[in-house]
A = this chain, B = another copy of it.
């Protein structure tokens, strides 16, 4: 029987108290560390932190947060969701994640992507016109760095390397996934490099991505690569009942989509569109039974071997996040595995 991995993704979205007061940035960071510990307690396989440079997402130094979680846990994988490789220096990323891998006894993983928000480009002096070239070049460098040994490299996105060896060297592998938002070109790139694929599905029916998955497997074959896992990342909230979950999620989702509408020209959610997303789309909001059924549909439609739930959006309380993580690990994951007849991952 094949295995099914369950993970939690977070962007360290800013938290509020039950009365709506915004927590200090520092307190949100500290409680994000606590959530990583709770994810392990709940039997989940991996806890991943994003990378943003915004007022409402406090994950600008994800390796530092992950390292504190590493020190307080012993089995859970520690990942990124995603590392914006385009505007990072792969050399610095290697130093940080090789160190994290050491501290955690080989539990670090990386999911790299081109970024969905673009704040990092002006902040670090990169030009959005090079959005794709930057990623391609840095991904190639990254994969070279993973081999270890002296590295000689020349490109346009960082200074040349002239035979340096990076330390601390890797004792254990540092698995690298590619996170994609829906671009077929990104899917083909992941296959070309022989890297597993993580689909960020945050709107619309997950089954729409079946074509991408087929393209990925076909491309892997053409590049002579072995078969590789496909994962899905979606946003959600799990509560005791469907009504409780929807009531907790809807006002925050409405506020979040209003902000994104203003920023990125998206459509703000209506109650009708929200209900549709919850029942047929990408929002995993509901009771453990409902969310398990929705995830199982996705696992079967897309042939997934990994599912990551993001249990937070900006302004959500710690309590809502904690409950979602506990229910995901203790009720949703076992139920999904039963529904699709798959086994837990061996950590």
- In the bound complex, do residue B24 and residue A171 qualify as a contact, i.e. CB atoms below 8 Å apart? yes
The CA-CA distance from A55 to B30 in the complex, in Å, is 33
A110 to chain B, nearest CB (A): 14
Beta-carbon contacts under 8 Å, A90-123 to B: 91-92, 95-96, 98-103, 105, 119, 122-123
Count A-side interface residues using an 8 Å CB cutoff.
Answer: 56
Contact of A100 among B25, B64, B69, B162 (CB under 8 A): B64
Beta-carbon contacts under 8 Å, A59-94 to B: 60-61, 63-65, 67-72, 89, 91-92
Copies per complex?
Answer: 2
- In the bound complex, do residue A164 and residue B53 qualify as a contact, i.e. CB atoms below 8 Å apart? yes
- In the bound complex, do residue A123 and residue B161 qualify as a contact, i.e. CB atoms below 8 Å apart? yes
Residues in B whose Cβ lies below 8 Å from that of A130: none
Q: Tell me the A residues contacting B by CB distance below 8 Å.
A: 12, 24-30, 33, 53-55, 57-58, 60-61, 63-65, 67-72, 89, 91-92, 95-96, 98-103, 105, 119, 122-125, 158-162, 164-172
The CA-CA distance from A105 to B31 in the complex, in Å, is 12
Q: Which residue of B lies closest to A55 (CB)?
A: B167
- In the bound complex, do residue B122 and residue A25 qualify as a contact, i.e. CB atoms below 8 Å apart? no
Contact of A33 among B58, B60, B63, B71 (CB under 8 A): B71
Residues in B whose Cβ lies below 8 Å from that of A100: 61, 64
The CA-CA distance from A60 to B98 in the complex, in Å, is 10
- In the bound complex, do residue B102 and residue A168 qualify as a contact, i.e. CB atoms below 8 Å apart? no
Contact of A95 among B60, B89, B105 (CB under 8 A): B60
The CA-CA distance from A222 to B68 in the complex, in Å, is 43
The CA-CA distance from A164 to B53 in the complex, in Å, is 9
- In the bound complex, do residue B164 and residue A102 qualify as a contact, i.e. CB atoms below 8 Å apart? no
Residues in B whose Cβ lies below 8 Å from that of A96: 61, 64
The CA-CA distance from A167 to B92 in the complex, in Å, is 19
Q: Which residue of B lies closest to A29 (CB)?
A: B102
14 A-B residue pairings within 8 Å (CB atoms): A12-B168, A25-B167, A27-B171, A30-B105, A55-B167, A61-B98, A61-B100, A67-B67, A72-B72, A91-B123, A119-B164, A122-B162, A124-B159, A125-B158
- In the bound complex, do residue B102 and residue A53 qualify as a contact, i.e. CB atoms below 8 Å apart? no
- In the bound complex, do residue B171 and residue A25 qualify as a contact, i.e. CB atoms below 8 Å apart? yes
Known contacts A67-B67, A125-B158; is-contact A61 B95 (Cβ 8 Å): yes
Contact of A103 among B65, B165, B168 (CB under 8 A): B65
- In the bound complex, do residue A103 and residue B28 qualify as a contact, i.e. CB atoms below 8 Å apart? no
- In the bound complex, do residue B167 and residue A53 qualify as a contact, i.e. CB atoms below 8 Å apart? yes
The CA-CA distance from A53 to B161 in the complex, in Å, is 13
Q: Which residue of B lies closest to A171 (CB)?
A: B26
Beyond the given pairs A25-B98, A30-B102, 17 more chain A to chain B contacts, judged by CB atoms under 8 angstroms and listed by A's residue number, are: A26-B172, A29-B99, A53-B166, A60-B168, A61-B92, A61-B95, A61-B99, A64-B96, A64-B100, A65-B103, A67-B71, A69-B71, A92-B92, A122-B162, A123-B161, A125-B159, A125-B160
